[in-house]
Homo-oligomer: A and B are copies of this chain.
């Protein structure tokens, strides 16, 4: 596969989009140096948005958890896949069956009595055959399929774990219906975050640990992207022939140091 031209960074970006899990923290632990690095980014006055495809946790809980780890982050700055899914539902007047983690159910609202769409989140350990089968039957009957994310795996404290992308791919395989992805790697997910801070793609930067869904997706949306060697980063990700990050940093702190060194 031919590599796309890599968006370069010759000046300090005008906005920074930061992936959360694997960049700022792993599980409940802040990654070394990242709390301080975020403070340095703030001190530089750059508009920030925090991106997450995590769909097990309501926004408020997520912000509280990040604040407990010492990160200076507000509700408004958090750009989540569940909210992106809700935007699609509203824009199109859909009546979904929500398959989501119980913790997220209140944020989504009740499923419709007669759904015309399936909105799939990460059910985690609440994954349930009967619910997946209900979704399958709706898809076979012509319902719209929106998946909050299609990540392959994520980093937990004890290792890489299976992410909801497996169940999106599985339902797509059996039903023949392709899901629309609300979160990363959808270009619309990055662009709505940038629209909020009124910065053009080429003037921003994404920092992420996922070669495909952070870096590759950002590059495809015209946004320079930094890959960090933390979280789900695996040896060889920094030498992929098809996806070439704007640069590769050891971790978030290193990425911030190098961004702030730009003129």
Residues of A within 8 A of B (CB): 123-130, 132-133, 136-137, 140, 152-153, 159-163, 165-176
Contact = CB atoms under 8 A, between A and B. Distances in A.
A168 B70 CA distance: 41
A162 to B, nearest CB: 4
Nearest to A136: B162
A166 B174 contact: yes
Which secondary structure dominates where chain A touches chain B?
helix
Give me the 7 closest cross-chain CB pairs, A-B, nearest first.
Answer: A166-B170, A170-B170, A169-B173, A136-B162, A127-B129, A152-B174, A166-B174
Max chain B CB contacts within 10 Å: which of A130, A140, A173?
Answer: A173
Contacts of A174: 152-153, 162-163, 165-166, 169
A215 B21 CA distance: 46
A104 B133 CA distance: 21
Nearest to A163: B174
A161 B134 CA distance: 9
Given A170-B170, A174-B153, A162 B124 contact: no
Given A125-B129, A128-B127, A171 B166 contact: yes
